[in-house]
Amino acid sequence: MPHKQRPDSAIQEIMIVEDPHAIKLLCSPRYAEIIRIISGEEFSVSDVARKLGANSGSVYYHMKELEKHGLVKLVREEIVGGVVKKYYRKAAMNFTFNISDPSSPSAAAAVAAGINEEFWEKLIKSLSYMGYNVLPGKMAEAKRDLMAMDRRSKAILAELQQSGLEQVEKDRLVVANAYQVAIMLRLVEDEQFLEAARKFSGGFLREQAGTGKQDSKEKSGKHD
């Protein structure tokens, strides 16, 4: 069957979503489910509708909304029985929001979608399972410092994405790990990030993960 590949069908490794409406779509269960279905491979509207057990007309509307806001891509077209069948795929392997920067247009939308102060508290409290317990009275400072760290890492990621790596290297595993390594290399030299990280780590009591036992250095009061 004749088909046409779209020239702009390349999938990004990581996309920082700034469009407020796109964030609302990502936080919507129905739209999120469509994105989940087409995250690993390409599907037509009828394919997605069949998997959802939904009406093709409503799925078509949802898909066009996702495409309009850059969250999915039309990757190829195929003629089946004289009808053009369009195939879509998730526009990036991973989506992330710049929710820690109040000046970001995505911040207000994220709050409206339920990603708010409670999100940061839950994130910090979840670290206790890995042995990091926030000290009494330090939650507000911990949230402030974590958000500062997040802003710097997102800014660095945005810079690295201008390198053109994804246009040259097609191995997605290589691209993902290259970003990870480059971000780590940049962060260990970034004074703004390191200052926030020092403050952040100072607000925690280090314990052995899963044991509830205090780290020997903390317990004895000895430090290197």
Report which of residues 211 and 50 the model is more confident about. Answer: 50
At the second CATH level, the architecture of 3-94 is: Orthogonal Bundle (1.10)
The predicted structure's pLDDT at residue 222: 47
Mean model confidence pLDDT for the chain: 81
Q: What mean pLDDT do residues 91-99 have?
A: 79
**CATH 1.10.20 domain span(s) along the chain:** 117-209
Q: What is the pLDDT of residue 219?
A: 43
pLDDT at 117: 66
pLDDT in tens, 129-146: 988 899 988 898 998 898
The whole-number pLDDT of residue 47 equals 93
Assess whether pLDDT exceeds 60 at residue 218: no
Backbone angles phi, psi at 149, to 5 degrees: -65, -40
**Per-residue confidence at 101, pLDDT binned at 50, 70, 90?**
low
Query: In terms of residues, how long is the chain?
Result: 224
pLDDT at residue 187 in the model? 94
**pLDDT for residue 214 is more than 70:** no
Task: Output Rg (C-alpha) for the chain, integer angstroms.
Answer: 22
DSSP letters of 169-204?
Answer: ---HHHHHHHHHHHHHHHHTT-HHHHHHHHHHHTTE
**Which one is predicted more confidently, 111 or 142?**
142
pLDDT of residue 40: 78
pLDDT in tens, 6-49: 555 677 888 888 777 888 888 788 898 999 999 878 999 999 99
- Domain covering 117-209 in this structure, CATH number: 1.10.20
Burial string for 33-45 (b: 16+ CB within 10 Å, else e) reads ebbebbeeebbbb
